[in-house]
Structure 1
Amino acid sequence: TPKADEVLIKINAIGLNRAEVMFRSGQYLETPSLPARLGYEASGIIEQLGANVSHFNIGDKVNVIPAFSMNEYGTYA
């Protein structure tokens, strides 16, 4: 369930890049906080809206680019 200011996205596709490889091996900008989540880039469809979300609607097609920590959100689900 999304928290305030968050959305839940049904992931249709992910990007796999060097950031995830470096994160897994402890060579990235931040250290994994185990159990760590993986994934930065993704595209999909919004399934749920959290409180205060007003610029998106359920069913919107969206993409996600690195703007958050893989320790917080992961797109490999």
Structure 2
Amino acid sequence: MTNTQDDTLDRGGSRTPQQIAELFAIAGRETEAIEQAHRLRRAACTRSRPPRPRLASLTPAEVRAALEFRRGGIGEAQ
């Protein structure tokens, strides 16, 4: 197996300032990507929450009517 520059760097070899700057840039992009994923997940969760209180306030008759509507109507063949 041949040694590459990356193999040497992974084992603690000498790094140039440019290589170190590149490592910081990669780490910064990784952190930003993780933060962006967290923001998107929070936004998706927030969008799903508003209907819940409204659904909780429905009467049993309203829930039955909505379920029947979703099933295709009262008395229709499935």
TM-score range relative to shorter protein: under 0.3
Larger RCO (CA within 8 A; separation ≥ 6): 1
TM-score normalized with structure 1 length: 0.19
Larger fraction in strand: 1
Specify which structure has the higher proportion of helix: 2
TM-score by length of 2: 0.19
